[in-house]
């Protein structure tokens, strides 16, 4: 069947297996003489080609909880459990996920593979910082228990390792105790990028922090944005809530998204957010998962799909680098609607994890032939400032760019070769960026 990531580019013909239990996953790995590479897949929410290969093993039916220690807040569950289900269980007991991505449809296995981050990285680190241990199915069929004490090399390679070391079957996670899940949000308007960075620096103590940025604004207004700071309310709801919203039933014609319409939309969004500035009590799902409400929102970008481009640059050069990037993007008129700016805290010891101290900017681009040259130019700016790109979003980075920005890639390959000597696990992405051989 044809498979693609959340960005709907690229697409590949692949055989997708959906084993109903751990025994079936093991049986598949043991029995099946795969002619081509295999990659595990969770919720299919990575944007590019990191969960694409000729053979895909979906963890969607490994979605059981095993144990919940309500006293310590540790929970053990299958790799296919989604953030949504985690919250369903955690919230009524006064707990919350320590790190939340922008969508509740991500699985625990996927969250480990991409070592995902949230709007609180500066304070709480990334997802894998809260993982206590997990069991990893290797290409040999052996199951390895990995933690910071046991099989440490496999642990640091698998966290953020994009599924290339094996298949995470089960994981133990430490939840966070919160007073309530009602969110007190403060919106601060900034007229340009410089002001926005100043505001972020000034409010570093805030629990959650994210800036929505108008990537079409130019000149004096370059990088104008609205910063959303947030805290949990002391008294508030302890109830899981799910919103229901509209579905995008089919791909909208791509030409509807052009320079003019996106500029209009960016303007409108900025004005709207500017108007709602100040303090507001909001529900957690609208704060953390603003787009989940619209099913299949990725279809808005047309049949050919889109690319999300997420970069991080060190704090010192952030203003210069981001100004250069935003200028290029604004002049090209190709930036779409969702642009997000956040500050990361220190990086962890995981070899391929994305977050590292600095500023991270996320931009969306429609998949069209001319956008690739623009992104190549952005790559050079990112590289020049010692930054890197997020593998879970990437669909086109070159091997050269990857190897010049991820300093630990050689160490990763060494561990990967020890865990998977025949290189059974590989994705389109790992082949493209030279983490696994091309064939």
Phi, psi torsion values for 412, nearest 5 degrees:
-60, -45
Q: Is 1 in the site for another protein (CB under 8 A)?
A: yes
Pick from 323, 308, 313: nearest CA to 356? 313
Q: Is 21 in the site for another protein (CB under 8 A)?
A: yes
Q: Is 279 in the site for another protein (CB under 8 A)?
A: no
Q: How far is the CB of 398 from another protein (least distance, A)?
A: 34
Residue 285 to residue 194: CA distance in whole angstroms: 30
Q: How far is the CB of 78 from another protein (least distance, A)?
A: 9
Q: How far is the CB of 85 from another protein (least distance, A)?
A: 8
Q: Please list, in sequence order, all residues whose beta carbon lies within 8 angstroms of the beta carbon of residue 338, skipping any fewer than 6 positions away.
A: 291, 362, 364
Size of the site for another protein (CB under 8 A): 17
Residue 172 to residue 89: CA distance in whole angstroms: 14
Part of the chain binding another protein (CB under 8 A), chosen from 67-75, 137-145, 270-278, 381-389:
67-75
Q: Is 137 in the site for another protein (CB under 8 A)?
A: no
Part of the chain binding another protein (CB under 8 A), chosen from 87-95, 156-164, 175-183, 384-392:
87-95
Pick one of 11, 54, 88, 207: the residue that binds another protein (CB under 8 A): 88
Which is nearer to another protein, 88 or 280 (by Cβ)?
88
Which is nearer to another protein, 249 or 369 (by Cβ)?
249
Q: Is 75 in the site for another protein (CB under 8 A)?
A: yes
Residue 122 to residue 117: CA distance in whole angstroms: 10
Part of the chain binding another protein (CB under 8 A), chosen from 61-69, 155-163, 206-214, 337-345:
61-69
> Which residues make beta-bridge pairs with 209?
229
Q: Is 256 in the site for another protein (CB under 8 A)?
A: no
- Going from the C-alpha of 233 to that of each of 98, 118, 178, 397, the distances in angstroms are 16, 19, 9, 41
SS3 219: helix
Part of the chain binding another protein (CB under 8 A), chosen from 12-20, 48-56, 122-130, 431-439:
12-20
Q: How far is the CB of 196 from another protein (least distance, A)?
A: 40
Strands 38-41 and 55-58: parallel
SS3 41: strand
Phi, psi torsion values for 152, nearest 5 degrees:
-60, -40
Which is nearer to another protein, 67 or 417 (by Cβ)?
67
Pick one of 12, 74, 89, 299: the residue that binds another protein (CB under 8 A): 89
219 burial level (CB within 10 Å; 0-12, 13-18, 19+): exposed
Strands 55-58 and 143-147: unpaired
Part of the chain binding another protein (CB under 8 A), chosen from 60-68, 349-357, 374-382, 400-408:
60-68
Q: Is 68 in the site for another protein (CB under 8 A)?
A: yes
Pick one of 72, 92, 271, 278: the residue that binds another protein (CB under 8 A): 92
CA 385, 391, 395: angle at the middle one, nearest 5?
100
Interacting residues with another protein (CB under 8 A): 1, 17-18, 20-21, 23, 61, 64-68, 75, 77, 88-89, 92
């Amino acid at each position: 069947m044809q498979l693609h990531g959340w960005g709907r580019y690229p697409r590949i013909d692949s055989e997708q297996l959906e084993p109903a239990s751990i025994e079936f996953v093991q049986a598949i790995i043991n029995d099946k003489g795969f002619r081509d590479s295999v990659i595990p897949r969770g919720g299919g929410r990575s944007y590019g080609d990191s969960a694409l290969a000729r053979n895909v093993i979906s963890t969607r039916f490994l979605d059981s909880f095993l144990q919940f220690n309500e006293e310590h807040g540790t929970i053990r569950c299958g790799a296919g459990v989604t953030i949504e289900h985690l919250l369903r269980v955690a919230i009524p007991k006064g707990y919350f996920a320590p790190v939340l991505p922008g969508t509740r449809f991500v699985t625990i296995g996927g969250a480990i593979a991409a070592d995902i981050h949230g709007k609180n990285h500066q304070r709480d680190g990334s997802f894998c910082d809260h993982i206590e241990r997990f069991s990893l199915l290797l290409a040999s069929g052996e199951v390895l228990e990995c933690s910071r004490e046991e099989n440490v090399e496999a642990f640091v390679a698998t966290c953020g390792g994009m599924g290339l070391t094996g298949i995470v079957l089960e994981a133990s996670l430490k939840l966070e105790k919160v007073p309530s899940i009602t969110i007190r949000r403060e919106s601060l308007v900034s007229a340009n990028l410089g002001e926005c960075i100043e505001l972020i620096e000034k409010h570093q103590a805030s629990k959650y922090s994210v800036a929505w940025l108008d990537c079409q604004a130019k000149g004096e207004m370059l990088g104008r944005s609205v910063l959303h700071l947030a805290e949990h309310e002391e008294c508030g709801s302890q109830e899981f809530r799910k919103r229901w919203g509209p579905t995008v039933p089919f791909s909208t014609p791509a030409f509807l998204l052009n320079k003019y319409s996106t500029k209009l939309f960016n303007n409108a969004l900025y004005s709207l957010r500017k108007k709602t500035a100040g303090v507001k009590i909001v529900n957690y799902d609208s704060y953390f998962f603003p787009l989940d409400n619209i099913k299949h929102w990725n279809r808005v970008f047309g049949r050919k799909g889109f690319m999300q481009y997420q970069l991080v640059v060190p704090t010192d050069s952030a203003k210069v680098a981001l100004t250069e990037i935003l200028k290029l993007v604004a002049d090209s008129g190709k930036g779409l609607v969702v642009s997000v700016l956040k500050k990361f805290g220190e990086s962890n010891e995981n070899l391929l994890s994305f977050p590292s101290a600095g500023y991270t900017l996320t931009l969306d681009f429609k998949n069209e032939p001319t956008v690739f040259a623009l992104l190549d130019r952005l790559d050079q700016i990112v590289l020049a400032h010692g930054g890197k790109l997020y593998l879970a979003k990437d669909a086109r980075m070159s091997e050269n760019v990857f190897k010049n920005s991820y300093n630990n890639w050689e160490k990763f390959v060494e561990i990967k070769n020890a865990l998977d000597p025949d290189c059974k696990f590989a994705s389109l992405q790992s082949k493209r960026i030279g983490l696994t051989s091309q064939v």
